[in-house]
Amino acid sequence: MTPERAAKLLNVLRQRQKNLTVVMENVHDPHNISAVMRTCDAVGIQNIYILNTKIPRHKKWGRRSSSSASKWLTVHQYTDVNECFDTLRKNYEHIYATHLSSNAVSLYELNLTKSIALVFGNEHEGVSNEILQLVDGNFIIPQVGIIQSLNISVACAVSVYEAFRQKKMAGHYNTSSLSPQQINELMIQWGGEELSV
């Protein structure tokens, strides 16, 4: 690996955000998953969660839309809701789901500088009732059109870019949120050498 390539990877790793994640519940289309992965990589999300309780576990993602983004992410796959949420609760303070309900708040009212997991449901039914019982609240993306829904990959992109905006303004990208050990482990996974960070 060239020094320039190593420097680029290190710069990316130093801007990874450990207190923000995306959870996808029973998303059918692997191309939607891949598009979400690409967006997560773009805003510095390292860990993502894929929960499949009603559909088979995914074996691969849509390569064309991901541009191999899965290579740069840590993907956690679960088939058990409680196991997934136990892990989420250990790593994130708040869990919010995209769901149109009477108590849902606007995406722009959420403080996304906190430690947060954002849950997105599948293309047909959205977030399941089982998951809605486990989250801390619901949010919606404000819209003024006739169709009050967005494709999951678009909804995720809008949401995490709002998180990116808030976190950028708060200075979260100016200092590394990953530990030196985490950075070294990921650097090695990405094909680099262990560094003194």
Domain count within the chain: 1
Contacts of 157 (CB under 8 A, 6+ apart): 35, 36, 39
Q: Looking at the predicted structure, is the pLDDT value of residue 175 above 80? A: yes
Residue 99: Cβ within 10 Å count: 21
Give pLDDT, residue 82: 96
Q: What is the largest CA-CA distance in the chain?
A: 54
Residue 118 placed within a domain: yes
Residue 197 placed within a domain: no
Query: What are the DSSP E strand ranges found in 17-155?
Result: 20-25, 47-51, 74-78, 94-98, 105-106, 116-120, 137-140
Q: Which domain holds residue 122?
A: 16-185
Residue 100: Cβ within 10 Å count: 14
Q: The domain spanning residue 159 has which CATH number?
A: 3.40.1280.10
Residue 10 placed within a domain: no
Residue 4 placed within a domain: no
Residue 58 placed within a domain: yes
pTM > 0.75: yes
Residue 194 placed within a domain: no
Residue 116 placed within a domain: yes
Residue 6 placed within a domain: no
Contact 21, 117 (CB under 8 A): yes
Mean per-residue pLDDT, 109-127: 93
